[in-house]
Amino acid sequence: MTFCETARLRAILVVAVIVAATGARLAAPAQAAGAFAIGECGAYGQAFDYAAENLAREAARKQCQGECTTVTMKRACAALSIDMANPCGAHGYAVDTRISNSLNAATRKCYEFGGKECVIRAWACDARG
């Protein structure tokens, strides 16, 4: 074998090893569960990239003060919008597969519920798998 042939075989072997390692990592189950806990007066908790939805819900609830509603996201994004003119008043939240859609929907819902100066308070995306 010539030097060029040996070098070529080594390069092919290296590429094969990289492809195999990458493929194994992509085939492994990704953690893709998240949750938002939404409370009064802008209170919230968030958790993302958990192995199971119940674990994500628990983690989000621990961060939220008071009585909180929990929404889950699986391979998606969630956003929370509150009214800065009255943080204890109107708010909106949304879950969607695209962050831009969830941000827009959360803000729109805040205004629909009577908000005057709605802004995004928090957002998160979990693993896309």
Long-range own/partner contacts, residues 45-54 (CB < 8 A, 24 or more apart): 46/78, 46/122, 46/124, 47/124, 48/73, 48/124, 48/125, 48/126, 48/127, 49/126, 49/127, 50/126
Token readout for 4 is 């060029």
Verify that 92 and 48 share a domain, yes or no: yes
Token readout for 76 is 């998606």
Identify the burial level of 105 via C-beta atoms within 10 angstroms of its C-beta, where 0-12 means exposed, 13-18 middle and 19 or more buried: middle
Name the domain count of the chain. Answer: 2
Domain ranges, residue 37: 33-125
At 13, the pLDDT band (50, 70, 90 cuts) reads very low
Terminal-to-terminal C-alpha distance of the chain: 44
At 75, the pLDDT band (50, 70, 90 cuts) reads confident
Verify that 19 and 38 share a domain, yes or no: no
Model pTM? Answer: 0.70
Verify that 109 and 67 share a domain, yes or no: yes
Q: Inform me whether the pLDDT recorded for 20 exceeds 70.
A: no
Verify that 20 and 37 share a domain, yes or no: no
Q: Can you name the residues that pair with 72 across neighbouring β-strands?
A: 35
Verify that 9 and 55 share a domain, yes or no: no
Verify that 17 and 48 share a domain, yes or no: no
Pairing of strands 33-38, 118-125: unpaired
Of residues 89 and 26, which shows the higher confidence score?
89
Q: Rounded distance, CA 110 to CA 82, Å?
A: 6
Q: Rounded distance, CA 50 to CA 35, Å?
A: 9
